[in-house]
Structure 1
Amino acid sequence: MSPTQQPTPASPVLALPPAFEAFYALQYPSYLAFAGAHFPLAEATAFTSTVFGALITRWDTLVGSFNPTADAWDCLSLRLRHHAPLLPILSQSPLHYDVLVLTALGYTAAATAAVTGREPSKIRYLTHSTTARSLGSLPDEAAPPSWSRSRHHLPPRIRSRLRPEPSHVHHGADQTSPV
């Protein structure tokens, strides 16, 4: 090797805080699933990586907050609202929308609470208030769109991830297909 030729230095290895690595391992699959309901897989993967990149840049502030898990989820949720069209879901707040999407993806109230950093009772309330409408407590003509009534309006990539509808859900005469 000549004196003018320098070996290419190895890329620096970044040592991430162990708490971030644990948070990433726990939350990444759920964040990706949520993003995947709004983007094709490649875009969802890139979007989720960008969110975690934003989280690590402010990790010290995040872990010092009152509820780091909720603040991290809110970062994901807010960024998603700025980069993707929302699904046609009737919701009363951003958290309500997020809960409905996670529920449709098969998340239980406890799992949704863990992912969003919210109290399980709040998640149960949000899912219960929606479930009552979706199971037909309102007449068909008065009921707002809900998951079981408007699945045909959802993109195929999320429809394929929904749990089957209970067989006791009544569809109006104009709604013969459950999906």
Structure 2
Amino acid sequence: MGSLFPSDLYETARAMLAAYEKRGLRIVTAESCTGGLIAGLLTEVPGSSAAVERGYVTYSNVAKSDVLGVPEEMLERVGAVSEEVARAMAEGALNHSRAHVAVSVTGIAGPDGGSADKPVGLVYFGLAVRDQPTRTRECRFGNPGRQEVRIASVRTAVELLNSALQD
């Protein structure tokens, strides 16, 4: 079977989803710069509905606020590409779903839009697990191209979702 995604990434997602299903856990995604690619990868796996509860694509700041409850004040103060917003997105996705684990991503995929403080390739992730402290991760992928930054972000999100199984 062919996949839209690299075969190793697809296989990692397939195995991870089987582990989530076996444990009766469900996933929700909250995506900005990946535009739904994380949910796209997960739902490419047949039977993924046993582990994928829902996904949010909140590309604009208004969507982050309206759909996930990210405070407008936070978005104005630190900007959408920040650890705080990644945390709030993951927590908001978890609170607005019936899932057990939420992963969020917000960043600058390029090729434009970066600055000295927030360069292209800067991506923040959040991982919220019910009844546990939310974790975040910062990655600096550089500027290898928009597609590469987005796929690297999907890989990192899958790694984070896998790490939730270790807890």
If the length of structure 1 is used for normalisation, what is the TM-score?
A: 0.27
Larger strand share, 1 or 2: 2
Larger helix share, 1 or 2: 1
